[in-house]
Amino acid sequence: MSELYRPGEPVALQFKGSAGEYFRIWIVNLCLSVLTLGVYSAWAKVRRKRYFYGCTLLQGAAFDYLGSPMAILKGRIFVVAAFVAYALLKEVHFLIGIVLFFAVAAVLPWVIQRALQFNARNSTHRNVRFGFRGTKMDVFAVLLIGALLVPFTLGLGYPLYLAMKRRIFVDNSSYGNQSFAFSATVGDYYLAAMKLSLAFFGFVLGSLITFGVGLLPLYLLLRAYAETSFARLAWRNTHLGAIGFDCGWTTGGLFGLYFLNTLGIIVSFGLLIPWAAIRTARYKLERITLHSAGGLEGFLASAQESVGAVGDEAGELLGFDFGL
């Protein structure tokens, strides 16, 4: 809470979710989703997000998710209908398939941009909305690098793609009238990628030495290392006005987390999925810290709602949601 806060000290996010409580929410969501043949899954998603947002606190104030289930359902129906139409029409003639492929490729940046916008506009903290003002051309540029440059450079373009993707996302995000800014360079990403390829060598070597026995644990370790190094790079170079961020995830910590999660889910036939979700959220969120030389509370309280960020407008957006 704010009375415990001393100016200038880093402040961590707090996560108050509990595995037992989330298990009950999860199982009811699952039950209704199965009984309604998936239609309820839009409502289930909102309930799940509201629980996680409402359990995440910064300086004693929670986050809130305002996405409307109806908008998400419409978005899902749109995506499923487009997919079915594509699958059916491409059987009629291969040329129709090719034309449709380009049509989908042309629409994809718009869909992703809308999804990012929907997610940001519907996230609030202290009754002030987040925002995303990236255009579909921004998204298109990132996708183009991902789709063209990466395969043609045999993956050498991948760090550039990661850097671009993060920059477009962070630089265009805002909290109220305050913009986020991203300061990592492409060089930083190449350095991280080089270290990762060394780790990959270790992974291959270790798998061979143990005659494949170590493959799965070593893969988890490699994944934990990759996730940790890119997350640290991203958070440490993200700024919101005078506020800086830090990320205290460690390779060992994430490895232990994923290892136990996987084990628990297998042994419990999936019943421990909610437990794994809560543990993951707690580990990741509580190790994100904010710091500011000039004091955090004053800044956090001074953000103004930006003009034009009206709830109705967000409600009109189709609720595209991908794991973005």
Partner 1 sequence: MSAIQARYFDGKSSAARETSLELDAQGVLRVRGEGIDCSWPLAEVRVSDRIGASRRYLDFPDGSKCETADNDGVDRMFAGQVPAASNLLPRLLHRWESGLRYALAAAAITVAAAVAAIFWGIPALAKQVAFALPASTESLLGRDALAALDHFIFKPSRLPPERQEALQKLHAAMLADLTAGRVGGGGYRLELRAGGRAGANAFALPAGIIVMTDELVALSKDDRELEAVLAHEIGHLRQRHILRHVLQDSVTVLLIAVTLGDLTSLTTLAAAAPTLLLQAKFSRDFEREADDFALGHLARRGISPEVFAAILQRMEDNRPDGKDAPDFLSSHPGTRERIERATAKR
144: contact with partner 1 by CB under 8 A: no
Residue 259 to residues 17, 96, 179, 273, 292: CA-CA distances in angstroms? 21, 46, 37, 13, 35
The phi, psi pair for 316, rounded to 5°, reads -80, -20
Rounded to whole angstroms, how far apart are CA atoms 238 and 249?
A: 16
Closer residue to partner 1 (CB): 181 or 303 = 303
Count Cα neighbours of 58 within 13 Å in the Cβ-side half-sphere.
20
Is residue 197 a contact point for partner 1 (CB under 8 A)?
no
The reply on whether position 125 binds partner 1 by CB under 8 A is yes
Binding mask 18-37 for partner 1 (x = CB under 8 A): x--xxxxx-xx-xx-xxx--
55 is a site residue for partner 1 (CB under 8 A): yes
Could you give the 3-state DSSP secondary structure of residue 246?
strand
Angle of the 41-54 helix axis to the 19-35 helix axis, nearest 10: 170
Binds partner 1 (CB under 8 A): choice among 14, 250, 251, 262: 262
Least separation, in Å, of the C-beta of 81 and partner 1?
15
> Exactly one of 64, 188, 246, 286 binds partner 1 (CB under 8 A); which one?
64
69-92 and 94-121 are packed helices; what angle lies between their axes, rounded to 10 degrees?
170
**Bridge partners for 56 per DSSP:** 15
Query: Rule CB under 8 A: which of 277-316 touch partner 1?
Result: 277, 300-305
Choosing from 71, 192, 240, 273, the residue that interacts with partner 1 (CB under 8 A) is 273
Residue 238, beta-bridge partner list:
182
- Given candidates 190, 265, 286, 289, which one binds partner 1 under the rule CB under 8 A? 265
Token pair in block for residue 115: 């999804």
- Residue whose entry in the numeric block shows the structure tokens 């232990």: 256
From the list 126, 133, 232, 236, which residue makes contact with partner 1 (rule: CB under 8 A)? 126
Q: Considering beta carbons, is residue 102 or 269 the nearer one to partner 1?
A: 269
- Contact 219/203 with Cβ under 8 angstroms? yes
Kindly state the smallest distance separating residue 58's Cβ from partner 1, in Å: 11
In a 3-state reduction of DSSP, which class is residue 228? helix
CB of 240 to partner 1, least distance (A): 12
Q: What is the number of alpha carbons within 13 Å of residue 292 lying toward its C-beta?
A: 16
Output 23 or 190, the one with its CB closest to partner 1: 23
Residues near partner 1, by CB under 8 A:
2, 16-18, 21-25, 27-28, 30-31, 33-35, 38, 41, 45, 47-48, 50-51, 53-55, 57, 60-62, 64, 125-128, 176, 220, 223, 258, 261-262, 265-266, 269-271, 273, 276-277, 300-305
